[in-house]
Structure 1
Amino acid sequence: MADGVESQDLRPRDGLDEVDRAILAALAADGRMSNAALAEAVGVAASTSLARVRALTARGVISGFRATIDPRAVGRDMQALISVAIRAGARANIARFAEEIRTMPEVIQVFFLGGAEDFIVHVAARDSDGIRDFVLEALSANPLVASTRTSMVFDHHFIGVRVGD
C-alpha cells in the first residue's frame, strides 16, 4: 500500500492480456503467418509481436508449431478411439504404459482419464484389419491391459482451442 492506496493486480488470472490473446487467436487461425503479418493483424510492432510469441512459447502457452497431416493422405484411412483399462495390480505402471503407447506409429493421441477407463487412444491405420491388429498386438497382448473397447471414427473435425471466447 503506497500513500494509503491499495494496489491491485489488474492482470488477468491466466496471465494473458488482450495482445497475447489476439496473437494466440491469429496463430490458431494461421500458424504459418509471418511475424510481419501477425504484428499487423494484432496491431503491434513486429518486434513486439516477436517478443510476445517467444515469451508465450517459453511459458508453455504455445506448445509448438506443427503441420496437421490428414491420415488418409498417408494411407491411414481408418481411425478409432480405443478405451483402455489398466489392470488393478498394474496401476504403478500407468506412466510406463503411456510412454510405450505414444511411440507406436498408429497412435495419433493419448488421453489419460479419470473414470471407468484409464486411457483413450486415438489411432489411425490402413483399414479395419490394421485397427484389429493394433488392438490385438499392442493392447490385448500387453500384460498391463485389463480390457479395451474400440469405437470406429466415421468423421473427425479438429477444432483446436478457441481463444477469447
Structure 2
Amino acid sequence: MTAKLRIDAKDRQIVRALQQDGRLSNIDLAARVNLSPSPCLRRVRLLEEAGIISGYTAVVDPKAVGLTITAFIRIALARHDREVVAGFEARVRDIDEILDCYLLTGEADYLLCVLVPDLDAYENFVRTRLHGIPGITSITTNLVYGTVKTSRVMPV
C-alpha cells in the first residue's frame, strides 16, 4: 500500500462492482455507481494507488482446466526459529500447486490450499514437494469432495 486512503460509501460501491466484474469499462462502472466517468476513474486510480484494489484477474474453473482435487493441508513445523519459518515460507511461495497459504493459531502452523489433477498427482506433490521442505514435523490433509460456496468478493 503506497498511500493511506479513507474510503467512503461511493468507493465501497466501486470496489463491490469491480469485485463482481473486473472487466467493467469505466463508462459502465460510472453508470453502475451513479457517477460521471471522470470522477469515477479518479476514484478507481486512488483506490489502486492506495493498494485497496491490488490487481485484476480472471477467475478460472479448476475442473475445466483439469484440476479436480482440492486439498486443505495443515502443516506443523518442528521449530519456529527465523531460519525454519523463512525457509518454509519461501519454498511455499515457489510451488504453483499451492494457491493459498495461511499462518494459523492452534495445533497447526499453516493451512495450505492445494489444487492438483488427481490423487496420483497429490501423492507425488506430497512426496516430492512438501517432504522436500526442511522443518516440517506433520502434514494433515483434508480432501474436498464438494463446494458449498466459494467467493473472492469481500463484504465491503
Alignment correspondent of 1:94: 85
Structure 1 unmatched ranges of 5 or more: 1-13
2: distance between equivalents of 1:72 and 1:64?
24
Deviation at 1:90, TM superposition (A): 4.8
Query: Letter of the aligned partner of 1:142 in structure 2?
Result: I
| 2:119 aligned with 1:140 | no
Contact 1:90 1:144 in 2 (8 A): no
Separation in 1, partners of 2:60, 2:93: 17
Using the size of structure 2 for normalisation, the TM-score is 0.88
Q: Which amino acid in structure 2 is aligned with residue 32 of structure 1? A: R
Match of 2:48, SS? helix
What is the CA-CA distance between 1:89 and the residue it aligns to? Answer: 5.5
The runs of at least 4 aligned residues of structure 1 exceeding 3 Å deviation read 89-92
Which one has more relative contact order, counting CA pairs under 8 Å at least 6 apart? 2
Structure 1 residues 73 and 43: alpha-carbon distance in aligned structure 2, compared to 1, 3 A threshold:
same
Q: Give the SS at the match of 1:97.
A: helix
- Deviation at 1:115? 2.2
Aligned length: 150
Tell me the alpha carbon deviations over residues 25-57 of structure 1, each in whole angstroms, 9 at most, x when there is no partner: 111111111110000111111111111111111
| CA distance in 1: counterparts of 2:115 and 2:81, whole angstroms | 27
Aligned to 1:103, which of 82, 90, 94? 94
Q: Which runs of 5+ in 2 are unaligned?
A: none
Return the alpha-carbon distance in structure 2 between the equivalents of residues 34 and 145 of structure 1. Answer: 47
For 1:64, the aligned partner's letter is G
**Pairing partner for 1:36 from 10, 27, 30:** 27
Residue identity (%): 35
- For residue 63 of structure 1, what is the amino acid of its counterpart? S
Instruction: Flag the structure with larger Rg.
Output: 1
The 5-angstrom pairing of residues 1-165 of structure 1 reads 15-88=6-79, 90-156=81-147, 157-160=149-152, 161-163=154-156
